[in-house]
Structure 1
Amino acid sequence: MLVSLVAYLLAAAVIVLLPGPDTLVIVRSIMAGGRRRGVAAVVGIQCGLLVWVTAAALGLAALLKASEIAFDVLRVAGAVYLVWLGVQSWRSRGTDDPSAAPRGGLLGTGFRGGLLSNLLNPKVGVFFVTFLPGFIPHDYPVGATSLLFGALFIALNASYQVPLVLLATKVTALMSRQVVRRRLERITGAVLIGFGIRLATEN
């Protein structure tokens, strides 16, 4: 269990650090209403993740209890997902600038924007359904372990996003530098591909 937990935390930390829709929502919220609205967006994002984690854990518990083959299929799917994320990071040229995100947006800003950006994004659900099973040790309860791992992911996510809000000006300036973004994408891409290969080849 300890080995699986450490591997999961490392992989989750790398994924959390990847710039994505959540980062854009936070930056947009800060631009629209300052740090307070940015914090509200962070809270909304974590609430959305909590809903997806709970739904995924309950669904996985029912599915994997019925079929060991399903467990292996999801493990391989999770590996493919990690490799795909890694390849996408490698292909990125680091040209997307989070500070260029529009002030508004269809889903709004603040708590509502953070919540809806997660709840209305089915990729978040697919992520948890394919990512978590690969790290759950055999002979451990799938539902409870999925909830634990999901809670740890939310904690990691919040521990990254809160400082992002507090250091908004410095972070957005740093992330706007193409060289920095390109190097970050290359490093995270290599790590994700490595974890994907590990999941696909382990017994």
Structure 2
Amino acid sequence: MILFVLTLLAFLFPLAFSPGPGNMFFAALGARYGLKATLPANTGYHVATVLVTVLLGLGFVALIDPASGLFFVLKTAGSLYVLWLAWKMAMSGRAQAKSDVANAGFRDGVMLLLLNPKAYVIILLMYSQFGATGDFSAGERVLLISLVFTLNNLLAFLLWTWAGDGLGRLFRSESGSRQLNLVFAAVLAGVAFWMMLG
């Protein structure tokens, strides 16, 4: 089991810790709201990650064929959702205003995962490599893969959020906050296009 987990982590590490849509999204939220205020969004994303990863591992893979119309709808909806979040960030004022903190909620995290086609591609790729290996029952394998995948992503997202929070602390004045909002709104818009074109 240890060798299986280490091999899986070696496969997942560059995918989870390199700059990608999820990492950039949470870095932007961290800069905007601070690490603590983004924990509900991070929780929502990772609760959804476990559920989706388990469902795909139990045989729902055929529903998320990258050539299907459903995949295109997910890609388009996810991109539009992240663009909407970018617009909200661009239009907001000083970081951590009380009315803004609620924007980084559990639902936002869930929606980001559910509408992120790249997450499905990574999960499908992961199962294609590890879905039939190891001395486990199918159910044990799916559960182990889902937990390792989710915890690895959670650690990566927390690190990126923390880095964004550190950057955001440098710009917490009114004018600095406004500039940082525009920069990270542009980053989120880039994430939306990345999701659409990927």
TM-score range, shorter chain: 0.5 to 0.7
For residues 105-124 of structure 1, the aligned pairs below 5 Å read: 117-118=105-106, 121=107, 123-124=108-109
**Ranges in structure 1 where 5+ consecutive residues have no aligned partner:** 28-37, 106-113, 199-203
Shift of 1:79: 1.9
**Residue 134 (structure 1) aligns with:** 121
Separation (CA, whole Å) in 1 of partners of 2:101 and 2:21: 32
Question: Does structure 1 residue 84 correspond to structure 2 residue 73?
Answer: no
Shift of 1:13: 1.5
Separation (CA, whole Å) in 2 of partners of 1:157 and 1:175: 27
Question: Does structure 1 residue 99 correspond to structure 2 residue 96?
Answer: yes
**Taking every aligned residue pair, what percent have the same amino acid on both sides?**
8
Q: Structure 1 residues 133-142 or 50-59, which shifts more?
A: 133-142
**Residue 157 (structure 2) aligns with:** 157
Q: Aligned match of 2:65 in 66, 71, 82? A: 71
Q: How many residues align?
A: 168
Residue identity matched to 2:65: F
TM-superposition CA deviations, 1:84-141 (whole Å, max 9, x none): 1453356457231333215998xxxxxxxx9xx52xx3x5334324422133327243
Contact 2:27 2:161 in 1 (8 A): no
Separation (CA, whole Å) in 2 of partners of 1:93 and 1:47: 20
Separation (CA, whole Å) in 2 of partners of 1:16 and 1:81: 19
**Residue 53 (structure 1) aligns with:** 49
CA distance 1:188–1:124, change in 2 (3 Å): closer
Contact 1:64 1:71 in 2 (8 A): no
Shift of 1:193: 0.5
TM-superposition CA deviations, 1:14-47 (whole Å, max 9, x none): 2212338x964x58xxxxxxxxxx4xx6777655
CA root-mean-square deviation: 4.4
Contact 2:32 2:168 in 1 (8 A): no
CA distance 1:160–1:101, change in 2 (3 Å): farther
CA distance 1:77–1:9, change in 2 (3 Å): farther
Shift of 1:50: 4.2
Greater RCO structure (CA 8 Å; 6+ sep): 2
Separation (CA, whole Å) in 1 of partners of 2:42 and 2:177: 28
Separation (CA, whole Å) in 2 of partners of 1:54 and 1:195: 21
Paired residue secondary structure (2:172): helix
TM-score normalised per structure 1:
0.56
TM-score normalised per structure 2:
0.57
**Residue 201 (structure 1) aligns with:** none
Question: Does structure 1 residue 197 correspond to structure 2 residue 184?
Answer: no
Residue identity matched to 1:52: A
Paired residue secondary structure (1:99): coil
